[in-house]
């Protein structure tokens, strides 16, 4: 029997960032939260059982793990992605953003340029700014018809002109949902090698890939890439463990690893949360079948969204994701400036989504929706959206137009 993801599990009053902080985080109490990237599904039973055993044991002292921890990571990444890390490459951190920030400090100086590709997961910009580095942008090119591509000439020019020594890659890409091809990754990696630019490859979404696409671990493509890449992974998106704060960073090159570890030591961090370690091991050991069913459920949710938007709301176009459970919605057909679009979603559709511009000005006119929720919730969300669009606008002859009192006659 497969796993079901249909159960609606109430999350209010559980200290959930997604549900319990509407006032503090710009949401609304009466809006459906489909914003931050965690899922409304319980973690797999193998994980909840392991955590229940830990809780029953009752002692939560300092924790560390032995070789079997790495063996599980090795199994996961070698079998699924053909990436074969060595035990010595692993650095455990309490999160991927923590690791990216540490890499920014370890490998660049104040005022140095760091390259990203916007629209991009907004903490990338934050860690660059808050650490006093300079953000250089290689904007992704939107081609309409729901696809983004990389402007490689601009990528290389920006690196060369600014003498960029660190590039933060989002692979698969949040929010545009691209799963970069081997060719694209090879081209990026080669440019970086040519210019002595180190790559921090954030691969946290690697386990959510839609049929027809394949995730490639950048570091696995060429031996030269292996020695020029900090590969950031975590079980947190895959198994919904973000609150347990655990991530696994692989750095093959010893001198890079030493610098990175030194930066982490400077923060005072040493041991990871024991519950996170327990959950990570249980998930990688036994969570495969659950993940398979989850990916099918997400693909079905995506199809549900695609069909709904296409058939009923022509003003909103879904940027077809190749991976991740986050969907980038091109709402420019609604002709609303971003603040009005945000307010329309929150106040009229009663949907708490992420505003496109938090991912950079390139996100103007877009919204990001998280579809990792039971189908009934998605159905409700889309019903609310349709109702709001109908109320706010009039659908005339199949075309979405602004409400015009004269056309009411």
Ligand X SMILES: Cc1ncc(COP(=O)(O)O)c(C=O)c1O
Distance CA 258, CA 263 (A): 9
- In this structure, are strands 229-233 and 198-202 parallel, antiparallel, or unpaired? parallel
Q: Between 170 and 388, name the residue whose CB sits nearer to ligand X.
A: 170
Cis-peptide, bond into residue 172, ω within 30° of zero = yes
- Contacts with ligand X in 10-39 (CB under 6 A)? 37
Q: DSSP 3-state assignment of 303? A: helix
Site pattern 211..250 for ligand X (x: CB under 6 A): -----------------------x-x-----x----x---
Question: Considering only residues 33, 44, 85, 95, which one is a binding residue for ligand X as defined by CB under 6 A?
Answer: 95
Distance CA 41, CA 295 (A): 12
- Closest C-alpha among 192, 27, 12 to residue 117: 192
Q: Provide, rounded to whole angstroms, the least separation between the CB of residue 163 and ligand X.
A: 26
- Contacts with ligand X in 321-340 (CB under 6 A)? none
Q: Which residue carries 């790495």 as its tokens?
A: 70
Q: Provide, rounded to whole angstroms, the least separation between the CB of residue 343 and ligand X.
A: 24
Residue 174 touches ligand X, criterion: CB under 6 A: yes
- Contacts with ligand X in 297-316 (CB under 6 A)? none
Residue 106 touches ligand X, criterion: CB under 6 A: no
Q: Provide, rounded to whole angstroms, the least separation between the CB of residue 245 and ligand X.
A: 7
Distance CA 325, CA 378 (A): 12
Q: Provide, rounded to whole angstroms, the least separation between the CB of residue 251 and ligand X.
A: 16
Q: Between 18 and 158, name the residue whose CB sits nearer to ligand X.
A: 18
- In this structure, are strands 326-330 and 351-352 parallel, antiparallel, or unpaired? unpaired
Kindly give, in sequence order, each residue whose CB lies less than 8 Å from that of residue 212, ignoring residues fewer than 6 positions away: 322
- In this structure, are strands 198-202 and 166-170 parallel, antiparallel, or unpaired? parallel
Question: Considering only residues 121, 239, 250, 359, which one is a binding residue for ligand X as defined by CB under 6 A?
Answer: 121
Chain residues that interact with ligand X, rule: CB under 6 A:
37, 95-98, 121, 170, 174, 202, 204, 234, 236, 242, 247
């Amino acid at each position: 029997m497969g796993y079901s993801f249909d159960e609606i599990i109430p999350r209010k009053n559980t200290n959930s960032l997604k549900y319990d902080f509407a006032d503090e985080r710009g949401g609304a109490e009466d809006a459906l939260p489909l914003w931050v990237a965690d899922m409304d599904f319980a973690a797999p039973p193998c994980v909840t059982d392991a955590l229940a055993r830990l809780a029953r044991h009752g002692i939560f002292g300092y924790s560390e793990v032995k070789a079997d921890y790495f063996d599980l990571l090795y199994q996961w990444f070698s079998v699924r992605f053909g990436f074969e890390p060595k035990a010595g490459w692993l650095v455990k951190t309490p999160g991927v953003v923590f690791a990216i920030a540490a890499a920014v400090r370890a490998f660049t100086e104040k005022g140095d340029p760091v390259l990203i590709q916007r629209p991009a997961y907004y903490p990338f910009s934050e860690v660059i700014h808050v650490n006093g580095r300079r953000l250089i942008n290689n904007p992704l090119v939107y081609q309409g018809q729901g696809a983004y591509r990389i402007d490689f000439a601009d990528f290389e020019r920006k690196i060369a002109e600014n003498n960029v020594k660190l590039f933060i890659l989002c692979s698969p890409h949040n929010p545009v949902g691209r799963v970069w091809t081997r060719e694209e990754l090879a081209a990026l990696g080669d440019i970086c090698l040519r210019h002595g630019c180190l790559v921090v490859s954030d691969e946290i979404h690697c386990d959510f890939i839609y049929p027809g696409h394949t995730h490639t671990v950048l570091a696995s493509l060429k031996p030269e890439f292996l020695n020029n890449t900090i590969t950031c992974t975590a079980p947190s998106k895959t198994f919904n463990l973000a609150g347990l704060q655990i991530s696994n960073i692989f750095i093959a090159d010893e001198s890079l690893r030493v610098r990175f570890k030194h930066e982490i030591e400077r923060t005072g961090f040493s041991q990871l949360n024991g519950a996170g370690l327990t959950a990570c091991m249980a998930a990688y050991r036994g969570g495969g079948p659950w993940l398979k069913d989850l990916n099918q459920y997400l693909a079905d949710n995506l199809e549900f969204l695609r069909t709904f938007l296409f058939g009923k709301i022509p003003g909103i176009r879904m940027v077809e994701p190749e991976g991740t459970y986050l969907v980038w919605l091109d709402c420019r057909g609604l002709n609303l400036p971003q603040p009005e679009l945000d307010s329309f979603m929150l106040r009229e559709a009663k949907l708490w989504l992420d505003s496109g511009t938090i991912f950079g000005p390139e996100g103007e006119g877009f919204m990001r929706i998280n579809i990792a929720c039971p189908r009934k919730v998605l159905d409700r969300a889309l019903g609310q959206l349709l109702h709001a669009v109908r109320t706010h606008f009039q659908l005339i002859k199949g075309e979405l137009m602004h409400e015009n009192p004269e056309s009411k006659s």
